[in-house]
Amino acid sequence: MTPEPMTPEPVVGFIGLGQMGQPMAARLAQWPGGLIVYDARPEAMAPLAEAGARVAGSVAELATEVAGEVAGETATAAGLISVMVRDDDQVREVAREVAGAVAAAASDSAPDTGRAGVILAIHSTIGPGTAADLAAELEPAGVEVVDAPVSGGFMGAHDGRLAVMVGGSRDAYERCREPFGRFADLVMHMGPAGAGTRAKLARNLLHFASFTAAAEAQRLAEAAGIDLRKLGRIVRHSDQVTGGAGSIILRRTTAPLDPDDPLREILEHTRALGEKDLSLALDLGAQLGVDLPMGAFALGHFGTGLGLPPREAPRREAPREDTT
């Protein structure tokens, strides 16, 4: 029995070789289908060229090369172009230049054979509607847009341990999974175009809001005479063990818990501990003259945030009339 021929891997292009893009692209340098890179700064491309990547002279040149290889006789999979630039304006500029080059390459090639075209993966953190708008705009040019923002920072990119949140069709997600797996060890399909970005914005809300909570905790600790660097080590160690704030994201909904929900007893226990410790921290702040607005807000909303009913306000007796 003759084995089926192996499907060749698609070529990957990478645009934007900054602090995040450089290590992400470096993880793709030995991609079997080949890597083509472009950045406005030639010096940013040099290390990738030394590692085996081809260097393009422009966004259009990179897109033309990727589209040309996809149009080849042996191409059976979509080419992939990853983009990691600064903001929405740069993303739109790059995306439209890619679309123009892909459309031009398609018009110069043989008639449509039903092969997949080019997938444009946007790794930048952008506005919640940008990816969906670009997906609709670029589809006629043969470009399928997925938003694929990443989480994990420079070190995660360097070590191949990023998390990627993919918004787009299921087929595009499946085609991107293997190349994304070179720089990420968690690649998740979040929904249609735009869903990856919405997930990233929610994730970063938690991330950066926690910085403000950390600043408040540092003010309390400093006023209490605690070495902040030692406290930082404790926090990082325990968060690595417990999962930090993300460990509470367990449910499919934020709606109130049903009385018979199996998580209810666990979260009731969590509320009891959390409210006790928050109250003690607020008492310490009051003693030391440290204002703790985030702590006070957290105490007031802790239980309902877990899906538990609000506690009844403590009943206060009316003052008795002095009859003496």
- State how far the Cα of 234 lies from the Cα of 253, in Å rounded to an integer: 31
Sign of CA dihedral 223, 226, 228, 231: negative
At residue 228, φ and ψ (nearest 5 deg) are -70, -35
User: CB of 33 within 8 A of CB of 54?
Assistant: no
At residue 19, φ and ψ (nearest 5 deg) are -60, -40
At residue 319, φ and ψ (nearest 5 deg) are -65, 140
- State how far the Cα of 180 lies from the Cα of 173, in Å rounded to an integer: 10
**How big is the chain, counted in residues?**
324
Q: Is 191 left (phi over 0), alpha (psi -120 to 50) or beta?
A: left
- State how far the Cα of 52 lies from the Cα of 93, in Å rounded to an integer: 27
Residues that are catalytic: 200
